[in-house]
Each structure stands twice: as C-alpha cells, then as structure tokens.
Structure 1
C-alpha cells in the first residue's frame, strides 16, 4: 500500500480557488457512476440467472468478482495512480470500464461475464474511484470534511438511481442493450477525470514503503481488519440477494429493484446525519450500541418475517441502509484515530484488501447455501450474523476497558489518536511528522 503526502504549503495555496468545487462535482459523479453500477449487482444477479439458466452459485461469481476486483485494484494500482495522477487514472478507468461493459453485450457463456463485467469493469472502477477522492483532497484543506461529504453523497445517490434506471433500460432494450448503454455511461468517467486538473504540478510527493506493516503494529487495528472482513462479507450477500429473495417471497421484478434504491437512500441519510453531527456522535456508547449491535440484531433475527410482504421488505432495506451509512462513517473516523492521519492511507489499504476478500467470499458462499437449502432466508441469516459479529468485534476493540491499550506498539502509539478520547484537539499537530496532510492514493 502506498501513502502519498503533499506538503502543507502546497495544500493551502489557492484555498479559495473556485475551480476546486468543479473538482468536487466531478468526483461526485465519479462516485455516482461507479457505486451506482457496482451496488446494482443484485439486479444483474436476477438477469444473468434468468438468461443463462444457471443457479445462484454460478451467477454470484459475476458480482463478487466485480466487487473484489474494484477493491483490489484500488490497492494494487496505486503506483499507477501516484505516477500519472488523478486525471489520467480516472480517465483510464472510464475507458477500461466502458470496454468491459461494451464487450459484455457480446458474451455467449457465463464465464465470459466473469472476465468482462467482473474483471475489466472492476479494474476500470478501481482506477477511477480512489483517485477521485484524492483529487478533492489535493484542493481542500480547511473544508476537506465538507467537500468529501458532498463527494460521498454520490455513493448514496448512485445506489438510489441506478437500480431504477437499469430496470427501465432492461424493459426497453433487454440486457444486452442495457450493457451497451451502461458502457456509454462509463465513458462519462473520462469527462469527470478531464475536469480533475492537477492543482500544482510542483507538489512534492513522499511515498511510504509498498506493503508497509506499520499499521499492523497496532493490535487494535487487527480487530478493525477482522470486523471489516465480516462487514464486507455480510453486506455483499445482502446487496446481491435482496431482489432475488424478494422475488422468491412473491414480489415482482419491477418492484424489487426499488428495494436497492431504498438501501441507497437510507444509507445516504445516515451518512449525512452522522457527518454533520460531528466526530463524537459516531463514537459515543449509546450510538454505537443502537446503530451497530442493535440494528445488527434486528437485521439478523427478523429478516424472514419482514420479507413476507413488500412493506416489510422496504423496512428491512431501510434498516440495512441506515446501518451501512453508520458503519462507513464510524470506520473512517476510527481508522484515523487509531493510526493517526499520517498512516491512514496505509490503513485504508489493508481495509480495502479485507473488503475485497469479503466480497469474493460472500456471494458464492451464500449462493452455495441457497443451492443446498433451497431458501434465501438462510443466506440472510448468514449475512446478518456476519454484520452482527463485525459490530461486536469493533465495540470490543473500541472500549479501552478491554485492556488492549497496553499491547499496542509504543512507537505507533505516538502517531495515533486514542479511539475513544477526543479527536479534534490534537489532530492539528500530528500532521507535522511527514510534512503535510495525507492523500489517499
């Protein structure tokens, strides 16, 4: 993993430049397209299962490979991103994703989709997603949190929009025509990338060692990685099988696509609530119990009852979306506090790898379970249990009463902020260790 640090004197120059908001809009639409298509895997799961006459286990590999490749590419190709910059990386990602999506319309066998819709589109999305965040951080210093909040709003809006859009495209152009149109949509990533003009070509860049083990010296971070693996596993299963479970429960295809949109809308609202409530709102005891363990228990325990009718299915999706919005907000803040801002790029690299691992395992494992048991409820019990365990693990490592502070490496402890105690006051001094604000590449 590679962390890139730009000197503070470069970061603050041109802080009032109005063009920086153009970069924010470009990054917003990058996240909108990438996450909108990626998290519509549940819709494609039904389409591919129907058109290729394969079971859920075989077709689940398509979405799992897409999620896995997207997350893994954001780690493996960070050298490319660091060398050529955000603009070239996002534009290249748009071209690769468009080629993969376009070739998807010519496939005749299911394994062809593994290579086109899975690998090629995943590589393109991985090249575009992370640099769009990096471009915004290059332009912002004082208002970085607000700018990134706007950008990440594209994630929720994309999840709301694309399932409905794909449903209408399928009804008018069939699945092959839909792939062709989505290929054209992916080309818009090139437009977004073109707007991400480098802020200052004279910036000084420091690369931390590839595959640095520095974050792993923090034992609490090990718990975060394990929790992230469980979270990725469970959320992948739910995103992939919500439409299929709803159809199996008696709903029709047209209405089930709206369920993914409910997840996106609820997740967007949750992100905004906790982002604007401030850092401490996602770390206090009551919020952690209610939003992680509380919702995890509900999502795990009563999913079969909720899926008996369409209103219950919508309720389940709202609960799950609110949970995912809280988790991503909590995880980002906890990572910064555990490792310190200087090592957050390295930490996010390890977390991205755990996301990739959970994604490739989740879909096929649930598909195999559905194949053997013949009911989707067991797959959702598995997913809910994984989400619940992720929350419990995070809470156990969160509280200092677990006694793990004494096991944390002393050298790394000097560079991090405590997980529970105040974050904001000491943060401004910690950036001096490497000379400036970190950029995720």
Structure 2
C-alpha cells in the first residue's frame, strides 16, 4: 500500500476524484433520458416534467456553494462521503414515489444536494495534494465529466430495458454509494498543511465590470446547455427516432466534448485564445448551432451531427472561459467570485427547463426551444469575446506589470510561496459549467 504522503498516493486521490466526477456528471447530464421516462410514467407535460432536471442541476450548483462550510469544518473526505450517502438515498427513494412532486423532492432536491456536497470537494482534494503537477491532475479529473456523459445515458437505457424505471433508480443509488469509497480515498493533506478557502461572496470581484460580464455569460451558457441536455432526446423522438437512438445522442455530446477538451488542452493556452480560433469556435459554431438545428433534425445522421457540434462547442467554450477569465481578471479574483458564478449557473439551470417547456407547449414544436437555447449559448460567447478584445475593466483593476502575473494559476503560485514560507495554503476551485 502506498504511503499517504507519497507522490503515488496523490494519483490515487486524483483517480478517486475522476470517478466522483464520472458518477455525478454522468447521472446529472442524463436528465434528457429521465425527462422522457418521467413524462410517460406520470403522464405529465413538458413544463411539469422539466422541473425534475432543472431542480437537480439547481440543487447541485447551489449546494456546492451553500454547503462549503461543511467541507471547511470536516474536510473534503467527509464531504464527499456524506454526498454519496445523501445522493444514494435520494435515488433509492425513487422505489416508493407515486407522485410527481415526490420526484421533485427525491430525485431533484435530495440527489442534487448529495451531488453538490461531493462535486467541488473532490476537485479541492486534488488541488490540496498536487503542486507542480496540479494542471495535469485536474485534466485527468475533469476528463471524468466527458466520460460520464458518454457512458451513463447508454447504461441507463440498458437498465430501463431490463429493470424498468424503479429498478434503474435502485441500481443508480448503488452506483452513487461508490462516492463514499471515492471520498474515503481522499486523505487529508500530508505534513499537516492547512488549507483555507477564499471568501464565499467577496466584494472585490464586483469592482470589475468584466466579472459582471462573466456572470452574465455563465447565466446564458447554463440556460442554453440545460435546454439542450434536457430536450435533445425528446426532440429526436419527436422526429421519429427511436428511444435507443435518441439516448445515444447524449453520449455523442459527451464524446465530442471530451475530444474538444483534450485537443485544446494539448494545443495549449495560446491556441485557445488565438483570435481566429476564438472567433470560429465561440461565434462561428454558435451561429451554426443556433441557425440550422431544424434542418439537421430531419434525419438521424443530422441529429448526430448536431450533437457532435454542440459537444465540441461546449468543450471548447468551457476551456476558453476558464483561460480568458484568468487573463482578464486573474485567478485570485475569479476564486473570490466563485460563489457569484455558482449562483448564476444555478439560476440559469432552474429557469431553462420550465421556460423551454412552456415554449414547446405553446408552439407545439421543439425547434423554437432549440432556437432559444442556441441564442443563449451564442450570447454567452459574444459577451466573453467582447470583454476579451476590449479588456474591459482590466486597467482599473491591476497595473500593467501585474497583468502577466495574473495569468499564473493561483494555486500553483500561492502553494509554492506557502511551501517556501511555511504558511497555510489558500485555494479555491474554478467554477465553469460543463
């Protein structure tokens, strides 16, 4: 067995965090599959059913902020373990629900709280254990997001075929219990190093107009991506695709998103912020996704094409957002504004499903909801591109010599300084929507 202060054990923590993200994001971003299932089981319209997925995403994002005090008090390990227990309880209670509001409370609220308790602490555990290889470790962990989106829709579809929906939720609750195993592997930081979090809601980021723009961009992105994840299988089935092939579209999104993240991570920082790449990927793909969705959905090949485009777009945009925000604001400002960003992501998630559901019922067509989603995604990219090229607020926030320093990851810089001085380590995870 590896010593807990060895370099090898740090990678055990990273692998545990990988599977934490794998389970949480795999189940969470399968909301489109559950949307179809619950609408049929309870014979409800899109508006009423959409609250399930929106509440799940909202609870996950909000809990990751509101329940930070638990992680501060008890550490990452116990936060992830508790998250596994709570989420497993929420999923297992699906065995006894008989009304839609009960699904809101169990699958939506309770499972979301559990996932929120486990999601951010798993990333924080990796940041606490890694210094020089932090970015490589986080890349491994975040690859679990794409892997989960690829695997879980297909897994859930197979379980539904053999065990029906109650049995599926029961099996998923057992899978969620594995979060407890992952949490148990996340040992406290070696050598007794203390880890202090940034303030939850600091006023410092609010002094910079660029941070306001980033909050609005996160709101639009969360809104648009939630609509697509929730209604992509339903839209395909409305165009006469089977349930099995419609579910596969979500996996296609995950595959393209994972590939996009790997490509741009491999190409490096400068390529992601290159003018031509930024315009083509942020604006160009956004225009395409917004404008041609009805044409692509006429046949299954087009539906796969749309899913791949959206997945590649989302993988690039989250990478671009993270790096552009560090360039414009600096990692410390973003870390201090983490709470605001999470609130905006939660707000976009809770509004997206019901708003699109009302539009679908009013117009009796899915394409208008996808026009709405594409427009929201496009606006999020336009906002970030405008701030990137205008550098709004940067000059008033930092002096010229400090701009290049702000591009250095906060955790790497602060941890190196703290290790040299023997001071507590100050860390905070970046928040971006998947």
Shorter-chain TM-score above 0.5: yes
TM-score, normalising length from structure 2? 0.92
Contact 1:282 1:288 in 2 (8 A): yes
Contact 1:340 1:416 in 2 (8 A): no
Contact 1:340 1:430 in 2 (8 A): no
What's the secondary structure of 1:18's corresponding residue? helix
What's the secondary structure of 1:206's corresponding residue? strand
Deviation of 1:131 (Å): 0.6
Identify the match of residue 398 of structure 1 among 367, 388, 402: 388
Aligned CA distance change for structure 1 residues 104 and 196 (closer, same or farther; 3 Å): same
Residue in 1 that maps onto 2:59:
69
- Please list, as runs of the form range in 1=range in 2, the aligned pairs for 1:108-147 lying within 5 A after superposition: 108-147=98-137
Aligned CA distance change for structure 1 residues 107 and 430 (closer, same or farther; 3 Å): closer
Residue in 1 that maps onto 2:88:
98
Residue in 2 that maps onto 1:205:
195
Identify the match of residue 257 of structure 2 among 267, 285, 290: 267
TM-score, normalising length from structure 1? 0.91
Q: Distance in 2 between the 1:48 and 1:201 partners?
A: 49
Contact 1:15 1:141 in 2 (8 A): no
Q: Distance in 1 between the 2:401 and 2:355 partners?
A: 39
Identify the match of residue 423 of structure 1 among 393, 396, 407: 407
1:379-410 CA distances to partner (integer Å, 9 max, x unpaired)?
0000000001111111001113x66445x345
Q: Distance in 2 between the 1:250 and 1:377 partners?
A: 14
- Please list, as runs of the form range in 1=range in 2, the aligned pairs for 1:39-438 lying within 5 A after superposition: 39-200=29-190, 202-400=192-390, 404-406=393-395, 408-410=396-398, 417=403, 423=407, 436=425, 438=427
What's the secondary structure of 1:142's corresponding residue? coil
Q: Distance in 2 between the 1:42 and 1:84 partners?
A: 35
Aligned CA distance change for structure 1 residues 220 and 260 (closer, same or farther; 3 Å): same
Q: Distance in 2 between the 1:97 and 1:187 partners?
A: 8
Contact 1:292 1:323 in 2 (8 A): yes
Q: Distance in 1 between the 2:118 and 2:411 partners?
A: 29
Deviation of 1:276 (Å): 1.6
Q: Distance in 2 between the 1:349 and 1:403 partners?
A: 22
Q: Compute the RMSD of aligned alpha carbons.
A: 2.3
Moved more, 358-367 or 337-346: 337-346
What's the secondary structure of 1:399's corresponding residue? helix
* Highest RCO, 1 vs 2 (Cα 8 Å, sep ≥ 6): 1
Contact 1:97 1:122 in 2 (8 A): yes
Aligned CA distance change for structure 1 residues 199 and 409 (closer, same or farther; 3 Å): closer
1:335-377 CA distances to partner (integer Å, 9 max, x unpaired)?
3333333333223322111110100010100000001110000
Aligned CA distance change for structure 1 residues 422 and 405 (closer, same or farther; 3 Å): closer
Q: Distance in 2 between the 1:414 and 1:205 partners?
A: 30
Q: Are 1:440 and 2:429 an aligned pair?
A: yes
How many equivalent residue pairs? 423
Q: Distance in 2 between the 1:209 and 1:438 partners?
A: 10
1:131-172 CA distances to partner (integer Å, 9 max, x unpaired)?
110111111111111110011110000000000000000000
What's the secondary structure of 2:360's corresponding residue? helix
Deviation of 1:427 (Å): 9.6
Q: Distance in 1 between the 2:411 and 2:429 partners?
A: 17
What's the secondary structure of 2:428's corresponding residue? strand
Contact 1:262 1:321 in 2 (8 A): yes
1:157-199 CA distances to partner (integer Å, 9 max, x unpaired)?
0000000000000000100110111010100000000011112
Aligned CA distance change for structure 1 residues 87 and 415 (closer, same or farther; 3 Å): farther
Deviation of 1:200 (Å): 2.5
Aligned CA distance change for structure 1 residues 425 and 27 (closer, same or farther; 3 Å): closer
Contact 2:253 2:310 in 1 (8 A): yes
- Please list, as runs of the form range in 1=range in 2, the aligned pairs for 1:7-46 lying within 5 A after superposition: 17-46=7-36
Deviation of 1:429 (Å): 6.0
Name structure 1 gaps, 5 residues minimum.
Answer: 1-13
1:59-95 CA distances to partner (integer Å, 9 max, x unpaired)?
0000000000000000101111111111000000000
Q: Distance in 2 between the 1:208 and 1:159 partners?
A: 30
What's the secondary structure of 2:196's corresponding residue? strand
